Structure 1
């Protein structure tokens, strides 16, 4: 297929546009039956290839790290939580990431949106890791209009007095964004990137929206269609989702106007499950953001391209695919660049997406988090999850109040509560037969449990230590002209 792509595009690799939504839940797109209207995403997904056995990570930094590096968290030291705003931590700089690989093929590489992979030193920043330009946030949870964020999450007693601006144009604070909603600012910059693009080069545009992460903010007109939603968080969240959907439609139209669309591979993904406390919903899946149940890990994803064969457009792909697969898929499969890099955990899935062949991925390590004790040997008190074939095993504390099912607000549905067995730290499910994790099978299939625990032990032996450093008081924005800027 790479040969036919090359012929169709006069030996120039296709453009790649990768859109990442923040905290968008499984039940937050209308093509999954949501009351939230997402017409642009629906059209792109339904006319493309919908990925309905696709997994991301439980929170944002781990997903972003695996997307860009092609490596599991156990191989980058980012097994625990996300990268805090004051932590001297980042995706290890010695690991080459997606834009660096694509530059080897001659791509122009641009990022517009949220980074959240560490910024404590300049070497960690996206513009120093393969992106020709970066425009957006270093961290997360910024106000959508002011683009300031406080010290919430910081460990110091004076954190309530920490307040910094976090909107950047490469190395310079972009003060002009103040009072402008981030989705609109990002959309304007994407238009500029496309207008200035030299068509003699293929384009890689990475667009990780701030939306629809908290704080819950959106212009009033986007809430109007959802007056019938009585839950305030859900109503605002719905408006935020519709606003993001509109922006994605604008990006597509701009690519068409610029005569780039016909030679573009467009990918959409979420970064983790929806946060039910902030309006998101993952029904009928179990759990939510920050948990290892399906509601925390099952991603909303699709690929759309005129370069896809007509017989796969409009199909649903149920092959096992993980966010770590995007690097080899895009670099090797789409751009045609050989990856003589044996340490990747991801697989090239282009033929699987392009022709619905059987996935080479037979298993998926969701994660092993041994923090804070990091013992020498694996044990079931660690929070971990693994998928092998139809089977999924969880250990430790998977989160989400033992994996509750949360129905959409106002639906009138009252889900049953999960069975809680004191001291239980191992769960087994046949995900193919039971995607909602209702039938726990660890006692019925002890041999399967033993096999999967052995696999977790093998992965743990191959892991690097967790890197989760204490916050640094040198991150205080007061020391950096009121901005969240590198401090080392």
Structure 2
């Protein structure tokens, strides 16, 4: 079933568009018996699951990792839950999201090349929405926010197909003459539902309306809330910028303000979970999709590298689990956890079933998180990219005849991490870098020049989480074993599909919106037929609609 917009009166009492009710503590929130059904009705044994995925939040960009950014809500939720301090994702948006949804790695599930993951995803791959609904969860699992990967995305309530456009107008440009509207309600462009709200506020309101319209005692709820924040462009309501006047770097100041706005959003969501009777039986998972981008204000210090790299700064993520159902609250989980593990973990937690022939790469890690047991996961294939072979000194010889080290690849096994090829931007970016007005000034960055001619690295991540001491020359037997493991993984990969850009995807050919654009011959004939009558009946074109909407918004601001 689809969840409709709730009446404004249901949630304006605690979500105010311009002030956000952040002064109230959830400990003192007055719970009212709304939408909870008959008080004698037997409650669900299955927990509600709320998965919050944020975009481009750096490892250091949360209060409990020592940031100057104030995140009291995230700090408290994490402190009362379990902090995931050995938690990994992929270095870019789409691969992390596809692996989250399928429980499979890109190198195996055919979304091999990150920049083309959205185009090459197999629609037939199992997704956790289709798996969970065989349990007692709704057939249409409510989700809202940025998609950027999943074929299930069209079932989302309010969503961005791509999610890196303007936070207010919800337009995205890929270049001159290639701009379009990027907000949907279900399968249709959300022209009528769009009121020009800042996306963090908009998605939170939508999530709360879903909570308000559902009976938590009658049926378990899975809510997937994928924020656009804190991805560029760096936009934020002015009142949040006031908090960070002391940060001279404009990018960092705006980024910090966006994180604070996000923190307020999570507070309002948590208050709603309490108000509507979900909280005591809910598992909240919080995760970033990749590391932060220093050139857009993010910080991964003291980790090395940034988003889009296979250094720890690109793939070790902020993450925690908060729930009254946790057995070991207030702890840190240092067991190895990967984004693919959420698929089997949450399906099992929701009492769903997993077919034996799925061949998932993820593991059920609930006992590791909740009770502190060792993780069943012992290794992570971060990636193998056979297209990216830019290491000039890479060769089969450097790989002991076992692996061509020109290929970009990264593998973690136990304490050890191996990288080959060109792992990406490798600087450490300390906090003082942001004291200058321009991020292009790298004077404060710690730069490594002696490894430019290298094509293979080995680190003991447990002893050296900041990747400062390459020990590949000291442990050649470990290097050889891990190169053999890479070669074994590579045998399971399918050929990379990396299609060229197709101009038919331009929004100007698709009613001015981003979204699915491929049509077979029958669909094209029907569209031509409909367009003929539309043009001759003189209906307003998408260009006129777009122009009128922009004029209205300018008048509002």
TM-score normalised per structure 1: 0.90
Shift of 1:35: 0.2
Select 2:451's aligned residue among 411, 421, 427.
421
| 1:361 counterpart (359, 368, 377) | 377
- In the other structure, the counterpart of 2:146 is 114
- 1:177, CA displacement in angstroms? 2.2
2:153: which partner in 1? 126
Q: Which of 184, 206, 211 does residue 201 from structure 2 map onto? A: 184
Q: 1:206 to 1:276 in 2, by over 3 A?
A: same
Secondary structure, counterpart of 2:462 in structure 1: coil
Aligned to 2:429: 406
The 3-state SS of whatever aligns with 2:356 is coil
The 1:260/1:184 distance shift into structure 2, 3 A limit, reads: same
Cα offset for 1:342?
A: 4.1
CA contact (8 A) 2:200 2:265 kept: yes
1:393 equivalenced with 2:418 (yes/no): yes
Describe the shift of the 1:30–1:372 C-alpha distance in structure 2 as closer, same or farther (beyond 3 A).
closer
- Which residue does 1:21 correspond to in 2? 54
Superposed, 1:65-464 pairs within 5 Å as 65-83=98-116, 89-108=119-138, 109-117=141-149, 124-127=151-154, 131=155, 133-152=156-175, 160-175=176-191, 176-199=193-216, 200-309=218-327, 312-335=328-351, 337-371=353-387, 378-400=403-425, 403-408=426-431, 409-410=433-434, 414-464=444-494
Q: Runs of 5+ in structure 1 lacking a partner?
A: 1-8, 119-123, 153-159
Could you say if the C-alpha distance between residues 421 and 187 of structure 1 is closer, same or farther in structure 2, counting changes exceeding 3 Å?
closer
DSSP 3-state at the match of 2:380:
strand
Q: Assess if the C-alpha contact under 8 Å between 2:249 and 2:435 holds in 1.
A: no
Q: Which moved more, 1:133-142 or 1:431-440?
A: 133-142
Question: C-alpha distance in 1, partners of 2:77/2:351?
Answer: 21
Q: Kindly tell me: are residues 405 and 372 of structure 1, through their superposed partners in 2, closer, same or farther at Cα, counting changes over 3 Å?
A: closer
Please report how far the alpha carbon of residue 179 of structure 1 lies from its aligned counterpart in structure 2 after TM superposition. 2.5
Q: 1:52 to 1:373 in 2, by over 3 A?
A: closer
C-alpha separation in 1, matches of 2:116 and 2:253 = 29
Q: Following TM superposition, by how much is the alpha carbon of 1:372 offset from its aligned partner in structure 2, in angstroms?
A: 5.9
Say if 1:419 and 1:390 are closer, same or farther in 2 by CA, change over 3 A: farther
CA spacing shift, 1:138–1:90, aligned 2, 3 Å:
farther
* Superposed displacement of residue 77, structure 1: 2.0
Q: CA deviation at 1:250?
A: 0.6
**Residues 224-273 of structure 1: CA deviation (Å, up to 9, x unaligned):** 11000000000000000010111011111111100011110000000000
CA distance in 1, matches of 2:389, 2:303: 31
Query: Aligned with 1:424: secondary structure?
Result: coil
Q: CA shift at 1:411, angstroms?
A: 6.0
Distance 1:422 1:316 in 2: 36
Q: Distance in 1 between matches of 2:116 and 2:228?
A: 16
Match of 1:467 in 2: 497
Does the Cα contact within 8 Å between 2:299 and 2:429 map onto a contact in 1?
A: yes
C-alpha displacement of 1:414: 3.9
Among 32, 35, 40, which residue is 2:65 paired with?
Answer: 32
Structure 1 stretch 462-471 or stretch 337-346: which is displaced more? 337-346
Max Rg structure? 2
Which piece of structure 1 moves more, 433-442 or 134-143?
Answer: 134-143
RMSD between superposed Cα atoms in Å: 2.1
CA deviations 1:116-168 (Å, max 9, x no partner) are 016xxxxx3523xxx4x43110013110011000124xxxxxxx111100100
Whether the 8 Å contact between 1:328 and 1:339 is mirrored in structure 2 is: no
Question: 1:340, CA displacement in angstroms?
Answer: 2.6
Are the aligned partners of 1:404 and 1:418 in contact in 2 as well (CA < 8 Å)?
Answer: yes
> What TM-score do the two structures reach when normalised by structure 2?
0.79
Measured in 2, the distance between the counterparts of 1:341 and 1:247 equals 39
Q: Which residue of 2 aligns with 1:478?
A: 508
Aligned positions, number: 457
SS of match in other structure, 1:82: helix
Change (3 A) 1:410 1:137: closer
Aligned-pair distance for 1:378?
4.9
Higher relative contact order (CA 8 A, sep 6+): 1
